[in-house]
Amino acid sequence: MPKAEKGSAKDIANKMKAKGLQKLKFFCQMCNKQCRDENGFKCHLTSDSHLRNMKSFCSNATGMLDQFSAEFKKTYLDTLYRRHRTKKMSANNVYQEVIQDKEHVHMNATKWATLTDFVQYLGKMGKCVVEETERGWYVTFIERDPEILAQQENYKRRVEAEKREERKVAKRMEMQRIEAAKLMDRAGVGVNVEASNLDRTSDDAPIALKLGGGNGAEKAKKKKKASVFGNDGDDDEDSEREEERLLAEMNKPIQKAEAIMKELETNRKRKRNPTEEQQRGIHLHSNDNNNDSRKKEKNSNTSKSNSKNDSDGLEDIRKKHWIRKDILTRIISKKVKKGQYYKRKCIVNKVYDKYIAKVEILDSGPGADDGGDIFEIDQDDLETVVPKVGKHVIILNGRGRGMVAELMSVDEKKCRRTLQLLDSDVILKKVDYNDFSKVVK
């Protein structure tokens, strides 16, 4: 039966009937044709185009089946990632979203007979986290994008840093509270005040409370006013003296606490900087004949040491950050990459914010090929690498910071070594292991 002409009533009716999804059992994946009923599907199976496509399918059945399976898997994973990211979703709901597209690859053309088989396949291949519940199968996409993983790691690191800072602030506040409590105890004003019993006898006068009274100064002004019936200046003077005495007694503990704090502050300053009287005493004591010889010896020793340092021209520069570019280090933390690179050597390629290093892992052995991974790591998770005698190192802290030197000798007991600078041939003795590391050429 010939097809209806375009634009005719028959053609429009056929298009209206073909709108939306039809029954899956009347769909031919090889010809990509959807039939409306069983009669139309039988007619399609006997058509020449369908028979030609089936002959080509028989010649390469596994290849075409793998192609359809790969297309279906890609469509399913893309839908899961774009719409739900890493949320836990029902596998059937995601499949319903996939088949909303009329041109999708049907599951009956893939190597999976059911959706359960396909979901189990995703779990075995590590594409998703699969979980079977009473309500059916649930899938969770596994994120493998390196940029997103780096963002998540930076976020976790920032949250941990904020928590550490909060703990430090809380600890500092607790220390301040304890010091303030000690000062209050010394001044006689205790933080923890114990209540005592009120002992009264039958001869005591009754207790009267006056609410809404003003300040002491206002009361004093009121009392200073002259009486209409006579002069009561003596009573006013007595009341003023009583109020001044009470105020002085109330201010005594506060004045004691302030005096103690001032005394502690002056003691700290005296320890740091000696006063003029102490300097005068030292100067007068140094005029004695017995101490002149000792002072000359000390001056000679200090002048010798100063002359040596001046001849070297090297300053003792020490800073908290020591990592540098192009040095060899070793990972000492098991928390880095879940302990995968524990005790492995790495090269520092770049330094961020003085404390973060971008490192490249070296091979574990001459014949091994397990290095090359590049990631960021904190300075606290690294240590220096000490080479053999005769190798070149770079000084990271102390005298000659940032200069290249040659390793001369080793003192294993004290963990110190002797270095010779390459530029000026100056010899540095008793250099700690943590103050230098091997240079990567």
Say if residues 312 and 425 touch (Cβ distance below 8 Å).
no
Q: 88-90 and 374-378: which strand pairing?
A: unpaired
Angstrom distance (rounded) from CA 346 to CA 352: 16
Residue 170 Rama label (left phi>0; alpha psi -120 to 50; beta): alpha
pLDDT in tens, 210-254: 775 555 545 544 444 444 444 445 555 666 777 677 667 666 666
Over residues 341-362, mean pLDDT: 90
pLDDT, position 27: 78
pLDDT in tens, 106-164: 887 888 889 999 999 998 888 899 999 988 999 998 887 777 777 878 888 899 989 99
Instruction: Please list the residues that pair with 407 across neighbouring strands.
Output: 419
Q: Which residues contact 196 (CB under 8 A, 6 or more apart)?
A: none
Instruction: Please list the residues that pair with 357 across neighbouring strands.
Output: 351, 377
> Which is nearest to 404 in space by CA: 420, 387, 384, 427?
420
pLDDT, position 303: 46
pLDDT in tens, 11-47: 877 777 666 666 767 778 778 787 878 888 888 888 8
pLDDT in tens, 279-290: 544 444 444 444
Angstrom distance (rounded) from CA 150 to CA 361: 18
58 burial via Cβ count (<10 Å: 0-12, 13-18, 19+): exposed
Looking at residue 206, what DSSP letter applies? P
Band (pLDDT 50/70/90 cuts) for residue 183 is confident
Angstrom distance (rounded) from CA 131 to CA 401: 57
